[in-house]
Structure 1
Amino acid sequence: MKIKLFEFSPLVVNTYVLSDETGECVVIDPACLHPDEKEMLFSYIVSNNLRVKHLLNTHLHFDHILGNNFVASQFGVKPEAHAADEPLLKDIPNQLKMFGIYAPNLSVPPIGKYLKENDIVSFGNQELHVFHIPGHSPGSIIFYHKATHSAFVGDVLFNGSIGRTDFAEGNYNQLIEGIKNKLFVLPDETIVYPGHGPATTIGNEKKYNPFVGSES
């Protein structure tokens, strides 16, 4: 499986395009806001002759869905996310205002398919297993690719940190419990691809993460 990383928007969100030899792909958390960012994502997909099978959202905070409408309209797919985050879509204008992001014409399509714990997202010859780990948001989910031990975790876990829990509906204890019981049981060599910042590994975070690691 090939993993392409883009960093989009003033909040530097990690957008991932996963593809394989069949030419099918998924887009995780499209955060492209400006025209040049949209063109960058579009050109990569088209120039590599990729067919977008799924538009996946780890959660529905505004910064992770800035490009949802663009991807949905360009490639004929609908956003897929956890139902518990759906109320966040009504609060997008307030979220933008809170972070000083000017996007007056931002259009956010509704969830097209609900994902839940133990679902499997298939594309090409690949399978992504869905884990529901609330705490950063009620519907935060991660996508685990068992064949390569790769986990796309959104804002659940970072390199040396964890997702914020001071937003509305955040829950610190719930997040910590989910990380320990669902992520930290994965193999230590599992690569963690977060929603912001550099990748890390489960083993590294188990040992050194100041919030959930053994040395915390």
Structure 2
Amino acid sequence: MIKTFEFSPLQENTYVLADDATGEAVIIDPGCYDQSEKEELGKFIDDNKLNVKYVLLTHAHLDHVFGVAYVKRKFGIKAYLHEFDMVIYNDVPTRCTLYGLRGYEPSTIDEFLKEGDQFRFGNTVLDVIFVPGHAPGHVAFVNHAERYVIGGDVLFKGSVGRTDFPYCNHADLLNSIRTEFFTLPDDYIVYPGHMDPTTIGQEKRTNPYVKAM
């Protein structure tokens, strides 16, 4: 099961992935901003009697980490992020102040993840791929058995991740798409950090930012 929540004024996609056979689950990019959004996420997990094992972060931009402290506390789980993104994660309180976003609760990252890691919950396996560009430590999570990618802010339907923030690199972003995303089969579904899902094949054919790659 893949459940998508659109949270915060920045319309970020938070994902709950659950193994149907066991009820074990992971939360990816908890962007729940205010208390009502946090309660919405928690209620879904409680109502479905899910056993959350990890909170996984594709990257550390503020809209993807608003709810880290909440889910760690509620479910007693560890948070995982690539080490290269700690410079961004540590700056989130300053960014929230700059943008007038109140109420952010800082929290720690418990473990660093890296390319090649696998996260297992029940019978489900997610493979970690390293896809820098939009952020220096950006990763994505691939489920080869079910043929999908939780892609963060790398590739969107008809677009790509922004590279005008600090620590972004446009050449790295395009290289990540070319060498990591576009080497996956065309039918793999991409669940992005914003907007609707797409497929690898559709973006190869029609995405104006990467079509010529």
Aligned match of 1:207 in 200, 205, 208?
A: 205
Q: 8 Å contact 1:89–1:108 — kept in the other structure? A: no
In structure 1, the partner of 2:67 is 67
Structure 1 residue 94 displacement after superposition: 2.9
Amino acid corresponding to residue 117 of structure 2 in structure 1: D
Q: Is 2:124 aligned against 1:126? A: yes
In structure 2, the partner of 1:41 is 41
Q: 8 Å contact 2:93–2:106 — kept in the other structure? A: no
Alignment of 1:66-215 (within 5 A): 66-103=66-103, 106-214=104-212
Q: TM-score, normalised by structure 2?
A: 0.96
Deviations along 1:130-167, one digit per CA (max 9) or x if unpaired, are 00111100000000000111100101111111111111
Amino acid corresponding to residue 144 of structure 2 in structure 1: K
Change (3 A) 1:112 1:39: same
Give unmatched runs, 5+ long, in structure 2: none
Q: 8 Å contact 2:60–2:89 — kept in the other structure? A: yes
SS of equivalent to 1:70: helix
Aligned length: 212
Q: TM-score, normalised by structure 1?
A: 0.95
In structure 1, the partner of 2:11 is 12
Q: Is 2:63 aligned against 1:28? A: no
Give unmatched runs, 5+ long, in structure 1: none
Cα distance between partner residues in 1 of 2:34 and 2:105: 13
SS of equivalent to 1:137: coil
Structure 1 residue 90 displacement after superposition: 2.2
Amino acid corresponding to residue 45 of structure 1 in structure 2: I
Superposition RMSD in Å: 1.1
Q: 8 Å contact 1:65–1:108 — kept in the other structure? A: no
Question: Moved runs in structure 1, 4+ residues, more than 6 A?
Answer: none
Q: Identity over aligned residues, as a percent?
A: 46
